[in-house]
Amino acid sequence: MSVSIRTPLTFRDVPPGVGLEAALALKRPAVIATLRAADLRGRGGAGFPTATKWNLAAAAQSKTKYVVCNADEGEPGTFKDRVILNHFPDLVLDGMLIGGYAIGARKGLIYLRGEYTYLRAPLEGILARRRQERRLGRAILGKKGFDFDIEIRMGAGAYVCGEETALIESLEGQRGEPRNRPPFPVDTGFQDQPTIVNNVETLAWVACIFAKGADWFRALGTAKSRGLKIFSVTGDCERPGIYEYPMGLTVGELMQRVGGEGAKAVQIGGAAGRCVPAALFDRTIAFEDIPTGGSIIVFGPQRDMLQVAKNFMEFFVEESCGQCTPCRAGTRKLLGGLELLENGRCSIEYLSELCRLGESISLASKCGLGQSSPKAFLSIIRHFRDELLGRPAPATS
Amino acid sequence: MLITEHELLKDEIREWCVRYGADRGALLPILQEVQHKYGHISEFAMQQIADALEIHPVEVDGVVSFYQFLHTRTHGRFVIRLCRTVSCDMAGKDRVARQLENELGISFGATTPDGRFTLEWASCLGLCDQGPALLVNETVYREVTPEKVHEIVSACRRSLSAHAPEFSQEAAS
């Protein structure tokens, strides 16, 4: 049984090493300039410009710097990083090496989620092979003064560790509780040293950009969201799986391609994303409109949106690290509200209060997890009120 | 635990400290080794690790209690984790859950009296296109049906009675 890859993937056309060789032929500032020309933005979902991140770390004064590959893919509905690590690991490692070269780091860490432990042994094998090929270790590809090695570290089942500062805390042997930002990891990261943390897919695109040229990447997508994106599509559609499209596709176009035309809603961006009803399917998937780390979950006409909202809220109650009150206590309150709705016992007054609470959680939470935790709740309440209010009390058994 | 077992664990922790470095950054890898080998992390183990890394045992306990894959209590030889997040939910995880409870005679969060199986929920396992999905220790099972639950549980039981050292690994893709 294998994953369904439904479109041709650029990663298949880019042989390992080509991007790395092209990047190492450039001077360090030119590497970052190329990325800036390509206008690559982070593929984990936040969309931060990769060149800006790398430039800050490159400019930071320190002898020790780190490159971290964020392979803690925990967003509900995403599995593209698993597929990339499984089928195109060399591109990701090439991307890490290019990052190490660009910022002047000698060490890379892959933070692999505990749920993907079965990927560890194959990856260790690839690292060993690369050390023999001089694509890791000392004087990489014969380039004097560029030494770089990569270590794999395992997560242990905490969604919040996908947040970059929580990930760094975890690498340091701490509870995975996000830090205040600033300072940002680019100057105070792993072991307080300048650190770039990039998503698996971002690093693979870095390798492709150096192999195929910044202009190739820049010509795709929209003005604010350049290039291609990998989507993980699941739910009520005929063809779930992995898709590659340029950024800026509309939700409706995507639904046609995945066989989800009848959908009444699509969750874009996973539990931390938002729910888009059919009436808004002309909106585009791009950082300037509806951003996503790649998770697309399709809901058919028969789906009970209350159950969907409840599943997302249960997820956040479970995964909140508990460090700050708005998220720890707020997510529980919102879940309680959904349970009232389920029993047909929620007043509109109280529902409005919960929506205001949701906005407070977004504003007052410390990290991205907390800030995005009410998004699914709020968008489902907004678009599916009719479906949620005044339910008959469930029959007691 | 017998004194000799304590001594063994002490030696192992010393070895892991050499491998991962005797500093705070080594804490998670060392805990994962203990968890992997013993199925849980005892108070004795936490104290030993704290001594080795020169940190307070409460710090170790704080880390262990934070991560879902680290346990202070004895866990079954096979930990079955069924994904309950939305895609697997829509693909029918409720029926798989029910059948797991029926086959094992325990509910979620519990361990069978013979210490062989622990049944737990998991958040998204990243197998959303092939749900319902579950993990048995580190092995993934995709598109699990109630019927398949019986086969999975039987395979675990067989591998124990055959004294097979490791559970057969399904090819991961």
SS3 for chain A, per residue? CCCCECCCCHHHHCCCCHHHHHHHCCCHHHHHHHHHHHCCECCCCCCCEHHHHHHHHHHCCCCCCEEEEEECCCCCCCCHHHHHHHHCHHHHHHHHHHHHHHHCCCEEEEEECHHHHHHHHHHHHHHHHHHHCCCCECCHHHCCCCCEEEEEEECCCCHHHHCHHHHHHHHCCCCCCCCCCCCCCCCCCHHHCCEEEEEHHHHHHHHHHHHHCHHHHHCCECCCCECEEEEEEEECCCCCEEEEEECCEEHHHHHHHHCCCCCCEEEECHHHCEEEEHHHCCCEECCCCECCCCEEEEECCCCCHHHHHHHHHHHHHHHCCCCCHHHHHHHHHHHHHHHHHHCCCCCHHHHHHHHHHHHHHHHHCCCHHHHHCCHHHHHHHHHCHHHHCCCCCCCCC
pLDDT value at residue B124: 94
Nearest CA in chain A to B90: A235
Chain A hits for B31, Cβ within 8 Å: 156
Which one-letter DSSP state was computed for residue B167?
A: P
Residues forming CATH 1.10.10 domain(s) in chain B: 5-66
pLDDT value at residue B169: 40
Residue range A251-284, pLDDT digits in tens: 999 999 999 999 999 999 999 999 999 999 999 9
What's the mean pLDDT when you consider all of chain B? 90
pLDDT value at residue A396: 67
Nearest to residue A330, comparing CAs of A308, A354, A346, A306? A354
B126 vs A78: CB contact, 8 Å cut-off?
A: yes
Q: What is the interface size between A and B, counted as CB pairs within 8 Å?
A: 137
Question: Using CA atoms, how far apart are residues A277 and A266, in angstroms rounded to an integer?
Answer: 6
Domains parsed from chain A with CATH numbers = 10-218 (3.40.50.11540), 228-299 (3.10.20.600), 305-389 (1.20.1440.230)
A321 vs B66: CB contact, 8 Å cut-off?
A: yes
CA B76 from chain centre, in angstroms, equals 8
B24 vs A157: CB contact, 8 Å cut-off?
A: no
Q: How far is B111 from chain A (nearest CA, A)?
A: 19
Identity of the residue in B24, B69, B86 whose CB atom sits nearest the CB atom of A76: B86
Token reading at A52: 């800006």
Angle at A157 between CA A336 and CA A57, to 5 degrees: 105
pLDDT value at residue B161: 77
Do the beta carbons of residue A365 and residue A373 sit within 8 Å?
A: yes
Residue range B126-151, pLDDT digits in tens: 999 998 999 999 899 999 999 999 99
Residues with Cβ within 8 Å of B173's Cβ and at least 6 positions away in sequence, in order, are A1, A2, A3, A86
Residues with Cβ within 8 Å of A298's Cβ and at least 6 positions away in sequence, in order, are A233, A234, A235, A236, A237, A255, A258, A260, A263, A266
Question: Does B168 reach chain A within 8 Å, measured CB to CB?
Answer: no
Q: How many CB atoms lie within 10 A of CB A253?
A: 15
Angle at A267 between CA A266 and CA A270, to 5 degrees: 155
pTM of the model: 0.94
Which one-letter DSSP state was computed for residue B170?
A: P
User: For the domain B78-162, what is the CATH code?
Assistant: 3.40.30.10
Identity of the residue in B28, B66, B126 whose CB atom sits nearest the CB atom of A79: B126
Nearest 10 degrees: Cα torsion A17, A19, A20, A21: 80
Nearest to residue A199, comparing CAs of A57, A56, A51, A41? A41
Question: Does B169 reach chain A within 8 Å, measured CB to CB?
Answer: yes
What parts of chain A have a pLDDT lower than 70?
1-3, 396-397
Q: How far is A382 from chain B (nearest CA, A)?
A: 20
- Cα–Cα distances (Å) from A365 to A163, A310, A311, A322, A356, in that order, read 13, 20, 21, 11, 14
Identity of the residue in A1, A176, A318 whose CB atom sits nearest the CB atom of B130: A1
A154 vs B68: CB contact, 8 Å cut-off?
A: no
Angle at B57 between CA B55 and CA B59, to 5 degrees: 70
Q: Name residue B113's amino acid.
A: P
Q: How far is B135 from chain A (nearest CA, A)?
A: 8
Nearest to residue A46, comparing CAs of A75, A17, A25? A75
Question: Using CA atoms, how far apart are residues B15 and B12, in angstroms rounded to an integer?
Answer: 5
Is 90 exceeded by the pLDDT of residue B58? yes
Is 70 exceeded by the pLDDT of residue B4? yes
Residues forming CATH 3.40.30.10 domain(s) in chain B: 78-162
Question: Does B173 reach chain A within 8 Å, measured CB to CB?
Answer: yes
Residue range B61-82, pLDDT digits in tens: 999 999 999 999 888 899 999 9
Q: How far is B91 from chain A (nearest CA, A)?
A: 8
Q: Assess if CATH 3.30.43 describes domain B5-66.
A: no
- Cα–Cα distances (Å) from A43 to A86, B43, B128, in that order, read 18, 41, 19
Q: How far is B137 from chain A (nearest CA, A)?
A: 9
A156 vs B138: CB contact, 8 Å cut-off?
A: no
Residues 66-105 of B with CB under 8 A from A: 66-70, 84-87, 89-90
Locus of tokens 């080794």: B33
Q: How far is A29 from chain B (nearest CA, A)?
A: 32
Question: Does B140 reach chain A within 8 Å, measured CB to CB?
Answer: yes
Q: Tell me how far apart the terminal alpha carbons of chain B are, to the nearest angstrom.
A: 40
pLDDT value at residue B5: 86
Identity of the residue in A154, A177, A315 whose CB atom sits nearest the CB atom of B123: A315
pLDDT value at residue A2: 59
Helix axes A89-103, A28-38, angle to 10 degrees: 120
Token reading at A61: 């004064």
Nearest to residue A199, comparing CAs of A301, A50, A60, A332? A50
Q: Which region holds residue B101: left if phi is over 0, alpha if psi is between -120 and 50, else beta?
A: alpha
Question: Using CA atoms, how far apart are residues A299 and A222, in angstroms rounded to an integer?
Answer: 27
pLDDT value at residue B167: 42
Report the percent of chain B where pLDDT is more than 70: 91
CA A131 from chain centre, in angstroms, equals 29
B173 vs A86: CB contact, 8 Å cut-off?
A: yes
Coil, strand or helix: which one is B56? coil
Give the largest CA-CA distance in chain B.
50
Burial B49-81, CB ≥16 within 10 A → b, else e? bbebbebeeebbbebbebbbbbbeeebbbbbbb
The confidence band for B1, taking pLDDT boundaries of 50, 70 and 90, is: low
Is 70 exceeded by the pLDDT of residue B170? no
Identity of the residue in B29, B67, B127 whose CB atom sits nearest the CB atom of A158: B67
The confidence band for B172, taking pLDDT boundaries of 50, 70 and 90, is: very low
Q: How far is A32 from chain B (nearest CA, A)?
A: 30
Residues 5-24 of B with CB under 8 A from A: 23-24
pLDDT value at residue B168: 40
Do the beta carbons of residue A53 and residue A206 sit within 8 Å?
A: no
Give phi and psi for B84, each to the nearest 5.
Answer: -115, 10
Chain B hits for A117, Cβ within 8 Å: 138
CA B19 from chain centre, in angstroms, equals 22
Nearest CA in chain B to A81: B126
Q: How many CB atoms lie within 10 A of CB A281?
A: 18
Nearest CA in chain A to B123: A315
